[in-house]
Structure 1
Amino acid sequence: MRIATTLLVVLWTGTAAAQCAPDLVTLKGDFGQARFKVAVADDLAERAQGLMNVPEMPRMSGMLFVYEAPQTASFWMRNTLIPLDMIFASADGTVQTVHAKAIPHDETPILGGDDIKYVLEINGGLAGRLGIEPGTVMQHPAIGPNAALPCGD
């Protein structure tokens, strides 16, 4: 099943892999690559709202949280209605931690680590099915010129 899903994702993203757009995040790793349509939360109000009260999210969609500087990242699921995977990445877009299947409404802190600048939230369980893990690299225009996977690659 995982091989078929990975093959589908690679075929679906194939020729568009080099494109970089504000509403797209590409993840690349040993599994191949996957592309997500995202909303970007890059200010305090947007990050505070996050995906709270969102009743459903299309499969290859998510929200990218962008911080001004690397920091210790911690999330919770208050008022979040759907299970989420949280993918925590450093300033160069390298995934440091993946928290799988965060439980809706749970207020237990979810620690993503230190020196985190980007957090991608996707549907719960999808990171595991695709093979997204620490060491995977993220591509998005917000990551800038020092990205592990720069735009255009």
Structure 2
Amino acid sequence: MASSAAAMAEQACRPDLASLRGSWGQAAFTVEIADDGRERAQGLMYRDQLDPWSGMLFVYERPSDTIAFWMRNTRIPLDIIFLDQNGVVRRIAENAVPFDETGLPGGNGIQYVLEINGGMARRLGIGVGTELRNPVLGEFAAWPC
């Protein structure tokens, strides 16, 4: 893990920081929050790059079984990480293909989605069971602030 990511993971819980931990270690990403319909619809479309330790955290009002993503107008490959109401990773769509309109469903009970650069999840070891820390999770967080 890069030293900057380790230092960020140790910082206080902040809205613009998505910290992840698992048996593989810890990492943190500076994130933009998409918590309304317009922001979630726009996502990371039309961007030519995403800084290595950056991403976008999509926040939904409640868990859902119908959350799915696609890559329409998205120019960069992404890892799309689907998390439940506790901030626990349930599924990862790795290296989603730019411009592909195939639906990528999150599965049951998804409330949060973290998008990071394609291939980063595998490089770090992020997988099912990894926990997210961010203030938006509130009282249900598996890894509370």
> Is the pair's TM-score, using the shorter chain for normalization, greater than 0.5?
yes
Q: Which residue of 1 aligns with 2:47?
A: 54
Q: Which residue of 2 aligns with 1:40?
A: 33
Separation of aligned partners in 1, 2:5 and 2:122: 18
1:13 CA drift (Å) = 2.2
Which stretches in structure 2 are left out of the alignment for 5+ residues?
none
Superposed CA RMSD in Å reads 1.3
Which stretches in structure 1 are left out of the alignment for 5+ residues?
1-5
Percent identity for Structure 1 against Structure 2:
51
Question: How many residues of Structure 1 are paired with residues of Structure 2 in the alignment?
Answer: 144
1:78 aligned counterpart, secondary structure? coil
Report Cα offsets for 1:76-117 as digits up to 9, x if no partner: 000000000001000000000011000000000001111100
1:14 CA drift (Å) = 4.1
Q: Which residue of 1 aligns with 2:73?
A: 79
Q: Which residue of 1 aligns with 2:120?
A: 126
User: What pairs with 1:102-141 in structure 2 (closer than 5 Å)?
Assistant: 102-141=96-135
TM-score, scaled relative to structure 2: 0.95
Separation of aligned partners in 1, 2:72 and 2:136: 27
TM-score, scaled relative to structure 1: 0.90
- After TM superposition, which residue ranges in structure 1, 4 or more long, deviate above 6 angstroms? none
1:68 aligned counterpart, secondary structure? strand
1:120 aligned counterpart, secondary structure? strand
2:8/2:27 contact within 8 Å kept: no
1:17 CA drift (Å) = 1.8
Q: Which residue of 2 aligns with 1:30?
A: 23
The verdict on how the C-alpha distance between 1:84 and 1:23 changes in structure 2, with shifts beyond 3 A counting, is same
